[in-house]
Structure formats: structure tokens, C-alpha cells
Structure 1
Amino acid sequence: MSSDDDTLRPFPSRSIDTHSELAPDRAEAVLELLAEAARVDGQQPVSEQGRLQLRGGTREGVSHLLLHVGDELVGYAQLEDTDPVEAPAAELVVHPSHRGHGHGRALGAALLAASGKRLRVWAHGGHPAARHLAQVLGLTLFRELRQMRRSLTDLDLVDPVLPPGVTVRTFVSGKDDAAWLFVNAAAFAHHPEQGSLTQRDLDDRKAQPWFDPAGFFLAERGGELVGFHWTKVHAEEGIGEVYVLGVRPGEQGGGLGKALTTIGLRHLAGQALPTAMLYVDADNKAAVSVYERLGFTVHETDLMYRTET
């Protein structure tokens, strides 16, 4: 959620259209809007998953709301209603040069209407203006996602110790897809976004320029996948990421997560990247504690708000 306006009032020639899929030219226009907002605000206004869902045709449960003033695209929102339990999730952004005219609240009102007033909305970066807009829309804070970072130039970690019988190799596209999706779903059964990834979602990521199987580590015991650490390199920013780290239920608590983290961080450091980052829920005290002991500190925070119904 990226907006600095909170007043819903008539605005000449403002219109909001909803689409189940975006034509290539419309998707490109939205990506340009997102890029400008990211440049001004200092972080992406829409998540990686949301940006991937802009292209590739219709996706079940995903809607795109385009706000135009005349013929100019000045606002965008995405609504995803795929979780069988949780309320639909949304992200929204208003072009920086068109803020202060009620467009953010107009998009928010449209999202509330489309979701039947059952809504969760991300505010990336947790800026005061976005927090205020959430309050105006009647949303309350219920989730805090922290981005943590640490230097890789002074990486001095003890050698990783794998549990008995566990070996580590790298991901083989096509061969390991199904096993990884199964373990990912099990490891993140409590996580509505990560745990629901499908083959299409995995294929989307494998098609991105940053994908590198050499940085995707799989831990096995007796030929069965028991954990993984998928790293990612943000080449333009010169940052490595602990992209996804998961341990299969029943294998947790034995030091595998820490060992995989160390293996991934050493891989990133070996590419001469100065910094590593990761995302973790603030209420995941055990994971936060592990990352803090590995030298990570909070860099910024994303907030999610929801309706109280």
C-alpha cells in the first residue's frame, strides 16, 4: 500500500476498471508505474509475487484494478482471493505525482467492495501515510514482516554441521520440482503466501533472469528432501538474499536450518556481494533469534492490515 491521500471525494474523470488478466501493454504500463513509485519511495510497492502475476494470462483468484484519470494510469491495485481460510489479500499504489487527490482511498474502497469487506492489505515499508490510509479504511494492524540485513564482507561463520545422514546438493530443474513443492508446502503450512506456491509459481521464478540453480541448495537423507535454502542475487543492488529457507516438519530443531543458512551465506559471499538480506515474520521469535545470532539486524518493516470482520 503506497499512497499519501486519505480523502474520498469526487474527482473529475477518475475511473477504476477491474480485469482478470492484463494485456501486455497494460501490464507494461503498470510495471512502469511500480518502477516510478519504487524510485521515489525507496522500496517496491508490490511484492515479487504480485509483479509476477501481472503477466502470463488469467490466474485463478487474482484481479487487477486500474485507476485512470482520463487516459492516464495513475493507480493500481491487485486483489488475490486464493486462501481458503484467510481474507483476500491486496496491494495498492498511486503514482507519486498523483498523490493527494483521494486516489488511494478510492482504490481501497474498491478493494473493500470487491472483497465483501473481508480484506488484508500490505503496506510495504510501513510509511506513516500508508498507515494513516489503513486507519481511514477501517483496517487494523495484524502482521509485521521484517527485512533483516547483514554484511558479507566480514563473514566469519563456523563450519556448517549437518545432522547425521544428511547431504547437500544443488537443485536440478525438472527433476526436483515436485519434491521441492511438497516440502515447501509442508515447511510453510502456516504461511499463506509461501506455502501455497504451485508449479506455475515455481516456473515463473525459474524463468526470471536472477534464477541460478547453483544457489539453490537441497538437503537430503536417504534420497528424500528434508530441507532447502534457495538464495537469490539482486544484481542491480548488489545484495544477496536468503530467499527461501525451509526444513521439513520432523527434521526441525536438529541444526539443519542453521547449517543450510551458513552454506547459502558462504555461497553469496563467494560472489563478492557486500550484503545479505532476508524476510522474517516478527512473531517468529525462534527464526528471528537465529538470524540475530548470525549477525542480521532489522533494516525495514512491511506491515499488513486487515478488516476486523
Structure 2
Amino acid sequence: MKGVSTNHPDVERTDRLTAADAAAVFRLAGAAGDADGAYPLSEHTTLHLRHGGDRPAVHLLIRDGADVVGYAHVDTTDIVEGAAAELVVHPLRRRHGYGRALATAAMAVAAERDPAGRLRLWAHGDHPSASALALSLGFTRVRALWQMRRSLHTPVPEPVLADGVALRAFRPGADDEAWLAVNARAFADHPEQGRWTLPDLRTRMAEPWFDPAGFLLAVNADDDTLLGFHWTKVHGGDHDPIGEVYVLGVDPAAQGMGLGRTLTLAGLRHLREQGLSQVMLYVDEANRGAVALYTALGFARWATDVSYSR
């Protein structure tokens, strides 16, 4: 979410982007990410732009001739938490009212779908301009998501499995439903992760980065019941590769077995074996147990994404 001013540019609204407009949005997001040091769109939004999906969204665009210089993605499908939006303005077009216009248009979309007009705005990178815009429009800072990082050149202890627990790789097609069930239980209180469906899982499995060998499962050694998992990811592209603790979860019924630490260490060792030098993860600032675990394993806070609510 970027940009603050008092002008009123035209905002175009559509329920479906053309391939050309989606490509223009990715160029815009790339320019903003390069300037700010934080990519302005979440994975959920990026996948929706790339693949579409079964969750509808409203797209808001500001154009300067043939160029898309402002964009907002508004997801109104969460009836519990309310609509959520992400905004981005080109670095060379800021302070012209684009951010305020996009945020105001997103508020109008939310009001159409929800009589209470609830809306959450995500600011990736916690930039002061985003905070100023959100607060000026009556939003309140409600949630912070930390990005933490760790070097893989420092020692990674050997993971120790509890008695009766085995570690193996995810089997696409065979483990899908069992993983979704454990994921839903492990993240029952999580506003995004716990809602994943089979199409959500398979969309990510179709991504070029997906590697089942890095999707580690802790299972009961006797009957192969899934107890927990550590799904790792490798980011590459235009920058040096970096590993990620993508999703780490333990079935509530298997809590107390030390699986969180064991699975984290197993994943870190897997990523190091791929020749990576660094690993990152995202964790909710309020999840003190997870923050304590990752801090004890050598992670430190790197950046912050903030959610504002109205």
C-alpha cells in the first residue's frame, strides 16, 4: 500500500483482468518492490493474478496512457474477517493521490459486500507512507507479520524424532486430503492458512518451485498417520536463491512431542543440502510460541508486513 496525496485520479474497476493487464500489474509490482525492498503483493494475490481461481476478486486500476501506475486487489470472500485489499502505486507516480483513490475505491467495494463496510489493508514492508494513509482514512493497525531470516552457514542441530515417529516426503495425489485435514486443524485460528482447499494446494503444487522432496511429513511409524509437516520452498528468479520455511504445522493431537523443532531442523538441513546459504519465514508477531521457537533456532527479524482494519 503506497502513495498519499489529495488529487482524485480515475479508478477503473473490473472483476477479471486481461492477460496484458495482469502482466502490467506484475511490472508495476516489480518496480515498486525494487524501489521499496519489499514486494507489494502477497502470494495469494500473485497466484490469483497468474492463475485465477475459485475465489472471486475485484481489481482496481489507475492508468497513465497505456501504463498501469496504480493497482488494488480486493478479496471479499472472507465472511468472518471481512474483505482484504492490497495496494501498489508506481514509485514515480506517488504523491499524486493514487494511493488514496485506490484505498477509497476498495472501501466502496467492501461496503457493497458487507453492510458493516469492514476492510483490511495490507502494507508489505511497513512503510511510513502506508501507515499515514491508513490512519488518515480511519484504519487501525491490528496485525503484524514478521519476516525472519537465518544463515544456513551456522550449525543446524541434528533433528531428533520421538519414539514411533518417522519422517518422509510428501506424495502428491496420495497425501493431499490427509495434509489438508491436518493443515486445517493446525491452523484453525489462522485467518488465511486454515482455509486452504484442494484447489489451493494443487495450484501451489503446479508452481515451478514445488518439490515434494522438500515437503517433509512426520508420520506415525506404525500406521503412517500424519502428525505434522514442514513444507519448504526455494525462491530464485532475479535474485540469489533463498530457502523458506513455507508452512510448518503440527496436528493439535500430536502436540507435546517436540515435532515443531524437529520438523524445522529437518527442513533447514534439507535446504542447506540444496546449496542455499539463507532461509526465511513469515510468522505472526502475536504467535509468541512460534517466535520463541524460531528465535531459539537462530532466526532474527528482517522485515514486517502490517494489516490495518476498518
Q: TM-score, normalised by structure 1?
A: 0.94
Residue 82 of structure 1: which of 65, 77, 80 is its match?
77
1:66-98 CA-partner distances (Å, limit 9, x unpaired): 122344311111111222310211100001111
State the alpha-carbon separation in 1 of the partners of residues 108 and 79 from structure 2: 19
1:7-53 CA-partner distances (Å, limit 9, x unpaired): 3323xxx3222222222111111111111111111111001111000
Match of 2:235 in 1: 234
Bigger shift: residues 52-61 or 101-110: 52-61
SS of the residue corresponding to residue 292 of structure 1 reads helix
State the alpha-carbon separation in 1 of the partners of residues 188 and 178 from structure 2: 15
Segments of 5+ residues of structure 2 without an aligned counterpart are: 112-116
State the alpha-carbon separation in 1 of the partners of residues 174 and 214 from structure 2: 16
Contact 2:3 2:98 in 1 (8 A): no
Match of 1:244 in 2: 247
State the alpha-carbon separation in 1 of the partners of residues 176 and 15 from structure 2: 28
Contact 1:20 1:59 in 2 (8 A): no
Contact 1:62 1:78 in 2 (8 A): yes
State the alpha-carbon separation in 2 of the partners of residues 65 and 30 from structure 1: 11
Bigger shift: residues 22-31 or 44-53: 22-31
| CA shift for structure 1 position 104 | 0.1
Question: What code does the residue aligned with 1:232 have?
Answer: K
Match of 1:121 in 2: 121
1:91-148 CA-partner distances (Å, limit 9, x unpaired): 0000111111000000000011110131001111101111111111211101011111
Question: What code does the residue aligned with 2:6 have?
Answer: L
Q: 1:37 to 1:298 in 2, by over 3 A?
A: same
Percent identity over paired residues: 51
State the alpha-carbon separation in 1 of the partners of residues 66 and 150 from structure 2: 44
List aligned pairs for 1:49-60, cutoff 5 A. 49-57=44-52, 59-60=54-55
State the alpha-carbon separation in 2 of the partners of residues 165 and 142 from structure 1: 41
State the alpha-carbon separation in 1 of the partners of residues 248 and 233 from structure 2: 11
| CA shift for structure 1 position 61 | 3.6
State the alpha-carbon separation in 2 of the partners of residues 60 and 50 from structure 1: 11
Residue 112 of structure 1: which of 104, 107, 111 is its match?
107
Residue 268 of structure 2: which of 243, 251, 265 is its match?
265
Match of 2:226 in 1: 225
Contact 1:186 1:195 in 2 (8 A): yes
Contact 1:53 1:59 in 2 (8 A): no
List aligned pairs for 1:50-199, cutoff 5 A. 50-57=45-52, 59-116=54-111, 117-157=117-157, 159-199=158-198
Contact 2:89 2:98 in 1 (8 A): yes
How many residue pairs get aligned? The number is: 301
Q: 1:172 to 1:283 in 2, by over 3 A?
A: same
Residue 8 of structure 1: which of 3, 6, 9 is its match?
6
Bigger shift: residues 233-242 or 44-53: 233-242
| CA shift for structure 1 position 58 | 5.5
Runs of 4+ in 1 over 3 A off after TM superposition: none
Contact 1:22 1:55 in 2 (8 A): no
State the alpha-carbon separation in 2 of the partners of residues 304 and 53 from structure 1: 20
Residue 289 of structure 1: which of 274, 288, 292 is its match?
292
Segments of 5+ residues of structure 1 without an aligned counterpart are: none
State the alpha-carbon separation in 2 of the partners of residues 300 and 207 from structure 1: 28
Contact 2:156 2:268 in 1 (8 A): no
Bigger shift: residues 231-240 or 131-140: 231-240
State the alpha-carbon separation in 2 of the partners of residues 223 and 58 from structure 1: 32
1:253-304 CA-partner distances (Å, limit 9, x unpaired): 2201110000000001111211111110111111111111101110111111
Question: What code does the residue aligned with 2:148 have?
Answer: M
SS of the residue corresponding to residue 234 of structure 2 reads strand
Contact 2:11 2:61 in 1 (8 A): yes
Question: What code does the residue aligned with 1:120 have?
Answer: R
Residue 303 of structure 1: which of 294, 299, 306 is its match?
306
State the alpha-carbon separation in 2 of the partners of residues 252 and 114 from structure 1: 41
| CA shift for structure 1 position 241 | 0.6
Match of 2:114 in 1: none
Question: What code does the residue aligned with 2:307 have?
Answer: M
Q: TM-score, normalised by structure 2?
A: 0.93
SS of the residue corresponding to residue 200 of structure 1 reads helix
